[in-house]
Structure 1
C-alpha cells in the first residue's frame, strides 16, 4: 500500500495492474482515447454523445424497447436503395458505352464506369479460409444449444459456426442465399462461465431478431459502398500540381458523397445503439441478468485477454524444438486462469475509465458501463436456457479440434 499523490488515500500497488485511487480517481485512465479520424468518425461520436443518456432513459421502459424500423429506418432504407441505384446506373451506363460507343473515348469511359461499379457492388460475404468452420454435422450439440437460444430470442439458428482466436463474437451472413454465420472468438469464449456463454449467444442472435438495419444487407452494404466512394474521391494530402488539380475537380463529388454518408450515419446510428440494448435483453433472457452483467465485465477486460494471448505467442516463438511444438497445450486454461485472477479493483477502474471516455471508444455501441448499469437496474430475470456438466463436457469435446487448431495458429504468430 502507498498514499495517493493527489488525496493521500491508501492505494494498492505491485499487483500487476494500473495503480489508481478509488477515492479521487487519480490515474484511473492513464491512457489516451484515440482521436477521431475524418468527418464521419467525428459525427459518429457527436451523435453518440447526443443520444447516449437520452437513449439509456428511453430503453428502460418496456414499451420503448420493441423492435421497429421507425421513420428514420424507412428513410435510411430509401437512401440505401438510392446508393445502390447509382451503382446499377454506372454498370448499365458503362455497359452501353462499351457496346454502343462509336470510337473516341466513349468505350474507355464505359470501361471506367464498369470498373467503378464492380468496386462498389454489394458484397455477399464469404467464409474465412484460415479458421475452423463447423457445420451441424460437426458439432450437433453446439448447434442444438444455439437453436434453443434462438427460440428464446425469437429467431432461427445459424447455418455455420466459425471459430477464431479473437476476444469477440459476431454474427453475419454469407453467400447469395444469405446463410447465417456465428463467429466465436475463443479469446472471449474460453474465459466465460456457462451462463455467460448463453448470454453471449443470446446477445449475438438477438441482432438477427431485432431488425438492426446496419447489420442488414441493404443498408450495411450501402454504408460500405459510400465508404469506398469517400476513399476513391478522397483528397490527396501534400499534392503535386497535377494532384492539386484533381483535388479541385473532385471537390463537388467529394462533398456530395460525404454528405450522403453523414446523412445515412445520422439516420442509423441511434437505431444501432438501441439494437445493442435490445440484444442485451436477449442475453439476459437466455443466460440470466446476472450472467449478462458478468458478460459485460468480461468485455471490459477483453484487452487484457488479448495481451495474454500476445505474450503467449511471443514466448512460444522464442522457444525451439519439442517445447515449441507443444506450447499450444493448455493455452486456453492459462488464459482463463489469468483472466479469473483480474481483481475487482481493476474491473472498477475500467468502469470508471469507460464512464470518462463515454462514446469515444466505439461510437456504434453504447458504452459498456451504461449497458451493465441498465441490466442491473432492470428487474432480474432467470435463465431460460441451462446447461449441465454433461452437456458442457460434450460441447467442449465438439470444440476440441477447433480449440487445438486456433491455439496452434496463435502460438505460430498467425
Structure 2
C-alpha cells in the first residue's frame, strides 16, 4: 500500500481495482461502486412523506422528458390549485361571518361565546403578510449599491425587476420572496453558499433565484401559500393528544375524521402544485445558465451536492469555538474574521474522486434541495443536454471587491452568530 500525507492506495475488497483512500472521506470504488453510499439517509418518516418523495422523482423525470421535447407547458392543475386554495379561504370567511352573526344574536349573554370562539379561530387562520426578517442582517440599496446593481443587471436580462431588500443568513441556500402589503421583493442569500462560489457561479445563482419571479410558482404565491398555512393551522388544532387519558382518547377518535380530511386536502394541493413547482425550477436553471453560463450553472448544482460538507464544517467550527470558550476580544475577532476563508478552503480541498462519489450517490438517493425540487442530477442533465451558452452577465475583480466590502458587516455579524451562538441557532 502506497501512502502520502493524506491519501493512500489500496485494492477494492470487492473487485480488486486500485482505489484511493483519503483520510477525510469515505473509501469507494469507481469500477464496482463498492461503498459508494456508506451512510444513506434514513427513510423519511411516514407513508405520506415516502410517497411524496417517490412522486416527486416520477414527476421530475416525466417533466424533463417533456422539456427536452419542448412540450412542457402550464396545465389546468395550477388553476385547480387556486380554486382549492380559494375554497380553503372561503372557510375562513365563513367563520368570520358566522362568528359575527352569533356575536350579534347573543349580544350581552352567554351566546356571545361561540361567536368569539369562531372569530378567534378565523383570526388564527387569516392570511399573514410576510415581513422582513428581524434576526439577520438586511441590506437596502443605500447599504450595498454595487450588489444591488449586479442584481438589477441580472434581473434585466431575466426579464423582471430587481429586489427591494437583501437578507443575509447562515443557511447553505438562497431564496426569493415578497414582504409587506405592496409585495416588495426580498432576496435571501445564505453566506455559507455565497462565500464558496466563484463570481460566475454567484451570477448563475442570482439568475436562478430571480428567474422564479418571471416563471411563477403557485406554491409560493400569496393565495396558495396562505392556503398551505391555513391547512397547517387546522392540522395543529386537530393534532392528537400524546399519551392520552380516557377522555383524550375519545377526543382523538372524534378528531380522526377531520384530521384525515385535512391530510387529504394537503396531499391534493401538493399534487396540484408539484408539476408547476418543478417546471419553475427547471426553467430557473435555464435562466441561471443563460445569465452565468452553462458551465457555471452546472458547477453551482455541484456545489449543492457537497453542501453537507459546508454544514459539517460550520458545525465543527461552532463546536470548536464553544469548547475553547471565550478567548478574549482579539482571539474571537481572529476566529470570526477567518471563518469564511476556512470554509471556502475546506470545500475547495474536497478531491474530485469524492465529488464524483457524491454525484453517483446523489443519483441513487434522488438527491434534491428539498422534496419540491427535481433531483439534482436531473437538473444537471437538463442543462447538459441543451446547447451550451456563454454568460450574459460577467463580473470582474474590482466589482467583486466592492461587493465584498459592502457585505463585510453582514459577513462579520453572521460569522459571529455561528461561532458564538452556534450554527443554526
Whether TM exceeds 0.5 here: the answer is yes
Residue-by-residue CA offset, 1:179-238 (whole Å, 9 max, x unaligned)? 110000110000000110000000011111101111211111111221222232123354
Q: What is residue 387 of structure 2 aligned with on the other side?
A: 379
Structure 1 range deviating more: 190-199 or 99-108: 99-108
How far apart, in 1, do the equivalents of 2:62 and 2:382 lie?
13
Query: Is the 2:217–2:277 Cα contact (8 Å) retained in structure 1?
Result: yes
Contact 1:210 1:279 in 2 (8 A): yes
Structure with the larger RCO, 1 or 2 (CA within 8 Å, 6+ apart): 1
Task: Indicate yes or no: 2:233 matched with 1:198.
Answer: no
Deviates more, 1:234-243 or 1:95-104: 95-104
CA distance in 2, matches of 1:34, 1:85: 39
Question: Partner of 2:71 in structure 1?
Answer: 64
Report SS of the residue matched to 2:21. coil
2:401 pairs, out of 369, 393, 405, with 393
Residue in 1 aligned with 2:372?
Answer: 364
Alignment of 1:15-414 (within 5 A): 15-38=23-46, 40-61=48-69, 63-65=70-72, 68=74, 70-101=75-106, 106-317=111-322, 318-319=324-325, 320-321=327-328, 322-358=330-366, 362-414=370-422
Superposed displacement of residue 54, structure 1:
1.3
Report the CA distance between 1:239 and its aligned residue: 2.6
CA distance in structure 2 between the partners assigned to 1:21 and 1:340 by the alignment: 22
Checking the alignment, whether the CA contact within 8 Å between 2:57 and 2:374 is kept in structure 1 is: no
Per-residue CA shift, 1:257-306, capped at 9, x if unaligned?
A: 12211111111112111111011011001100000000011111111011
Offset of 1:361 from its aligned partner?
A: 7.2
TM-score, normalised on structure 2? 0.92
What is the RMSD computed on CA atoms of the aligned residues? 1.8
* Range moving further from structure 2, 212-221 or 38-47: 38-47
Residues 197/360 of structure 1: CA separation in 2 closer, same or farther (3 Å cut): closer
What do the CA deviations read for 1:108-157 (whole angstroms, capped 9, x no partner)? 22222222222222121111212111001111111111111111111111
Figure out how many residues of one structure are paired with residues of the other and give that number: 411
- How far apart, in 2, do the equivalents of 1:249 and 1:341 lie? 57
Query: Is the partner of 2:241 in helix, strand or coil?
Result: coil
Residues 316-375 of structure 1: per-residue CA shift (max 9 Å, x gap): 231422313431012111111111111111111111111111268732111111111221
Q: 3-state DSSP class of the match of 1:408?
A: helix
CA distance in 1, matches of 2:254, 2:188: 43
How much has 1:105 moved relative to structure 2?
A: 5.1
Q: 1:37 to 1:224 in 2, by over 3 A?
A: farther
Relative to 1, partners in 2 of residues 1:106 and 1:31: Cα closer, same or farther, differing over 3 Å?
A: farther
Q: Whole-Å Cα distance in 2 between the matches of residues 24 and 333 of structure 1?
A: 36
Map Cα deviations across residues 63-111 of structure 1 (whole Å, 9 max, x no partner).
3356x4x200100011111111111211222233223325775322222
Range 330-339 or range 182-191, more displaced: 330-339
> Could you tell me how far apart the structure 2 residues matched to 1:331 and 1:65 are?
43
Give the SS at the match of 2:421.
coil
| 8 Å Cα contact 1:45-1:360 kept in structure 2 | no
Offset of 1:12 from its aligned partner?
1.5
CA deviation after TM superposition for structure 1 residue 410, in Å: 1.2
Tell me, yes or no, if the aligned pair for 2:368 and 2:374 is still in contact at 8 Å.
no
2:55 alignment partner, SS class: helix
Structure-1 residue corresponding to 2:3: none
- In 2, Cα distance between equivalents of 1:266 and 1:406: 37
Q: Is the 2:367–2:376 contact (alpha carbons within 8 Å) kept by the matching residues of 1?
A: no
Contact 2:366 2:376 in 1 (8 A): no
The answer to which of 157-166 and 219-228 deviates more is 219-228
